[in-house]
Amino acid sequence: MRINADFSEPALVHTEQEPWVPSPMPGVDRRMLDRVGEEVARATSIVRYAPNSTFSAHTHGGGEEFIVLDGVFEDETGAFPAGTYVRNPPGSSHTPGSTPGCTIFVKLWQFAPDDDLQFRKDMHAEAQRVDDGRSVAVLHEDARERVTYTEAAPGGAFEVSDPGGIELLVLDGTLSDDTRTLHRGSWLRLPDGMAFSGICGQEGARVWMKTGHLVDAAAPAA
């Protein structure tokens, strides 16, 4: 399966307009944003757990990172409420599910092989005020990539020109540039060498973003 699999081209999905696709597990549905592979895949998805649903126990051969968009995500290590950012490195395993139900944004098989950091963070609590009036949390940073969460004020500029590619998900509010408006649930991926220059709408914007990670995009070995 190949969905938005050319990482040299931009990709935009307004996820809240997309249909839910059943996963192999009852009560767990997906909106696939990019994917190279079948069930074991380099993948970026929105995943919805119905109340009292679980996914089968599995090991993350290529690592997993996710943010909880709503509800409470649960596994053997604890309960993760909305606003939590989680990194589970290659080789980690769990049995995910949700008693009340939840929705997450998740990325699979996108870690460096030697990345062994495992943690969770409250994105809002991590955010620090910066000079231009935004609040920014650096959730993860290494030589390969930078992951941030930004709370931007109404009418503020939102400009990104980091090398290595840009990927962002609008969690709330709106962002507009010369050609498009991104709203809650909009996912945008830009290749290495392409910048984003936008303005926040009257509600401001809350944005998860990753940069630098697209130059070595690859699928897992078969």
Contacts of 128 (CB under 8 A, 6+ apart): 135, 136, 137
Averaged pLDDT, groups of 10, the chain, 222 residues long: 94 97 95 89 95 91 95 95 97 94 96 92 96 91 96 95 97 96 98 96 97 80 49
The number of beta carbons lying within 10 Å of the beta carbon of residue 217 is 18
Tokens of 2: 């190949």
Calpha distance 59→133 (Å, rounded): 41
Q: Which of 139, 166, 135 is nearest to 151 (CA)?
A: 135
Give the pLDDT of residue 218. Answer: 60
- Is the pTM of the predicted complex or chain greater than 0.75? yes
Give the span between the Cα atoms of 99 and 87, in whole angstroms: 21
Say how far residue 65 (Cα) sits from the centre of its chain.
7
Give the separation between CA 3 and CA 128, rounded to whole angstroms: 35
**Comma-separated ranges of CATH 2.60.120.10 domains in the chain:** 19-120, 127-211
Tokens of 1: 């399966």
CATH no., domain 19-120: 2.60.120.10
CATH class of 127-211: mainly beta
pLDDT of residue 18: 96
List pLDDT tens digits, range 43-99.
Answer: 999 999 999 999 988 898 899 999 999 999 999 999 999 999 999 999 999 999 999
